[in-house]
Amino acid sequence: MDTAFTEHRTREPESGLATIVTDFSADQRAFRNVSWGKAMMWIFLLSDTFIFGTFLIGYMTARMSTAEPWPNASEVFALEIAGQHLPLILIAIMTFVLISSSGTMAMAVNYGYRRQRRPTAALLVVTALLGAAFVGMQAFEWTKLISEGVRPWGNPWGAAQFGSAFFMITGFHGTHVTIGVIFLLIVARKVIRGDFDHGRPGFFTGRKGRYEAVEIMGLYWHFVDLVWVFIFAFFYLW
């Protein structure tokens, strides 16, 4: 025992990158109580951040390097309502709806912590309806631009890259919102049936008495909302 103790004391301390690796691999306090579902969602969101970041960087690179003028977003996304020319009015409404859904999602997570089934399920359904409204307005936006001649390879107003950047970025984000709406309704159904209270076996249920699935959905939904803020700022306002 004395020999082992002496070897332990005489061992030279690690330095540099090895110290960071050792700290992370031995830090049980930070990861012991994190469930697999929540950890996997964070990993997924991190990978998705790189994908959306790549799309936005590619869009900005194409916009700054093109020799043709970039279409004016205030004109492209304007609507005529009651004879009034309203720039970006639809985009403003879409943003308001999606940000509002982030608030209802936060309230659903709060009620989930309290294990109150009815308000949790109701707020999840409201969040899903707001998300569906957002997707519906985005479909209207796509239909309008396609009818005006916007294609991935060209458009009537300027740089051809505008169409490909628009359809790629908003389409990828809209797909995320659509998937989120579907899973919100699935989780809401499980909440109202009492699956989380009774520990009923099934997909996305978790342990008895735990509403963790609601929190995981909240992480995903807040991420989708945050990504839209960057899309709104860089694509529509720039």
- Taking the C-alpha atoms of residue 47 and residue 53, their distance in angstroms, rounded to an integer, is 10
Q: What is the pLDDT of residue 6?
A: 47
Taking a C-beta distance cutoff of 8 angstroms, is the pair 202, 27 a contact?
Answer: no
Mean pLDDT of the chain, nearest integer = 87
pLDDT-derived band at 4, boundaries 50, 70, 90:
very low
Q: Distance between the two ends of the chain, CA-based, in angstroms?
A: 69
Residue with tokens 């989930």: 112
pTM for this one?
0.83
Q: What is the pLDDT of residue 238?
A: 83
Q: Which helix (H) or strand (E) covers residue 79, if one does? A: strand 79-81
Q: What is the pLDDT of residue 76?
A: 92
Q: What are the domain boundaries of the chain?
A: 36-237
The domain defined by 36-237 carries CATH number 1.20.120.80: yes
Taking a C-beta distance cutoff of 8 angstroms, is the pair 205, 103 a contact?
Answer: no
Q: What is the pLDDT of residue 121?
A: 96
